[in-house]
Structure 1
Amino acid sequence: MTLPLLILRPLEGARQTERRAKDLGLRTVVDPLFNVEPIAWTAPLPENFDGLLLTSANAVAHAGARLKSFRTLPVLAVGQATARAAGDAGFHVVETGRSSGQQLLDDLQADCYRRILWLAGEQHSALNPGEREMTVVPIYRSRAIALGEQAVACLKQEAAVLLHSARAARHLVAELERLRITPDQHHLLAFSEKVADAAGRGWKSLQIADRPDDESLLSLATGLCQSR
């Protein structure tokens, strides 16, 4: 019998991961640790910028009608999922990152995109724009919630757990401690080294994706879950 694959990312992203996982024949349990919701924001003038940085598809999903005014700006997308969401919303994606927002900025040509608008989450890791000017406007928040009943039931047996962010890792560890669930019978599949560090030790096994994307993460899950 295959191990269940527990997907804890916010619902919109979780459903995308679930579809990919089911296409690979994996048995999934979706129970998000966060609810993503829009927050009030004031849109700056698009003409003050020459590039739009998007580090999550959530920015596209939760920006609201104001987002349309920025379609004239070329989009710098942190990864393939964000690029697809931006393209579907009518934006022209000119750069797609390979690993992180910082990598994306570091790889830009020095004379391109000197004034960047970053539509970000309320809680976000700082990025160093170097010699560029960057304005950060939070437009959504991810609100942490308690570990749900489906997740708790899943964690009563051996399971593989996908973690896409360091914040999710820290929140999961806190929830496991609150519920007195030990991680030592579960396998952690981490999006990056940063996520793995936040999750700590004590897991039955811990693997880190070669690249920070679902394809790499689910490749690990396929090898782990279907070998049981």
Structure 2
Amino acid sequence: MTAGLPLLVTRPDPGGAATVERARALGLDARPMPLFEAHALPWTAPDPADFDAMLVTSAQAVRLSGPELVRLAALPVHAVGAATAQAAEAAGLTVAAAGDSDAQHLLGAMASQGIGSILWLCGRDRSAFDARGARLVAIPCYAVDPVPPPREWAGLIAAPAVLLAHSARGAARIADLAGAARKHLKLVAISAKAAAAAGGGWAEIAVAGRPNDAAMLAEAHALCHKGDK
């Protein structure tokens, strides 16, 4: 089978590079097209004695946290996704749980365990969650900001292609940059929220069955080869 339509991976590195590698291993014509770049923010770690656990929703939070992270090493980490859990372990943290769904599900599980005070190591731009009665303190340690599209972007979206949207914010930016080209472009969204942020006018939109790379790439594989004989 040929590689099919090009697959445009828009998430920032290092996650974007990992997605491209996984996609190419599946035989897809994956192109790195990062539309955002992550960078560290200054922050000060609070007293870990004030918290029962730490919530980490992105591996970027661990990678870009800097030397302050060591002050929180005593807190058990509840991580969203295997990649985040692996980054936390590599940084010397103790992972108590790795949720395979989203942050809201993980917070629900933490509440059911009686965890009352949670430090959330997060990005500057983040979603709101229901802490289910727990005290949830957000500490932004990184930011993800838009960057100009790579020079190949205009040429690639001028023809049919499949794009990956790993967040609602990313989906909205993809939609804005795609403009009228949406009519011949297909989009794979990590969640229903991301699909809604992308708006209408696409040739096709697919929502991943689970919020992870494997599920997104399964949908992408189908869209890239749709119509192949």
Return the structure number with greater relative CO, CA threshold 8 A, min gap 6: 1
1:20 shift after superposition: 0.6
The answer for unaligned runs of 5 or more in structure 1 is none
CA distance, structure 1, for counterparts of residue 107 and residue 166 of structure 2: 21
> Which residue, out of 101, 104, 112, partners 2:114?
112
Unpaired runs of 5+ residues, structure 2, are none
Listed as ranges, the matches of 1:4-153 within 5 Å are 4-153=6-155
Structure 1 residue 172, shift from structure 2 partner? 1.6
Q: 3-state DSSP class of the match of 2:96?
A: strand
The residue that corresponds to 1:217 in the other structure is: 216
Give distance in 2, aligned partners of 1:203 and 1:140: 32
Task: Kindly provide the amino acid, as one letter, of the partner of residue 181 in structure 2.
Answer: T
Aligned residues: 225
Is 1:185 the counterpart of 2:159? The answer is no
Runs of 4+ deviating beyond 4 Å: none
CA deviation vs aligned residue, 1:146-204 (integer Å, no higher than 9, x gap): 32212222112110101100001111222223xxx420111111101001000011111
**Corresponding residue for 2:207?**
208
Secondary structure at the aligned position of 2:38 is classed as strand
SS in 2 for 1:99: coil
Contact 2:36 2:144 in 1 (8 A): yes
Structure 2 CA distance for aligned equivalents of residues 220 and 182 of structure 1: 21
| Residues 97-129 of structure 1: per-residue CA shift (max 9 Å, x gap) | 232111111122534321110011001011221
CA contact (8 A) 1:173 1:199 kept: yes
Q: Quick check: 1:146–1:175 contact (8 Å CA) kept in 2?
A: no
Name the SS for the 2:112 alignment partner.
Answer: coil
Per the TM alignment, residue 88 of structure 1 is displaced from its structure 2 partner at its CA by 1.8
- Matched-pair contact (CA < 8 Å) for 1:26–1:226: no
Is this contact kept in 2: 1:29–1:154, CA < 8 A? no
CA distance in 1, matches of 2:114, 2:95: 14
TM-score, length of structure 2 as denominator length:
0.93
Residues 29 and 151 in structure 1, CA contact (< 8 A), matched pair in contact too: no
Percentage identity across paired residues of the two chains: 37
Equivalent residues of 2:188, 2:206 under 8 A apart:
yes
* Partners of 1:158 and 1:182 in 2: CA distance: 9
SS at match of 1:182: helix
Q: Is residue 64–residue 142 contact of structure 2 (8 Å, CA) maintained in 1? A: yes
Give the AA of the match of 2:184: Q
- The 2-side partners of 1:70 and 1:150 are apart by 42
Q: What RMSD in Å do the two structures reach over aligned CA positions?
A: 1.4
Alpha-carbon distance change, 91 to 184 in structure 1, aligned in 2, over 3 angstroms: same
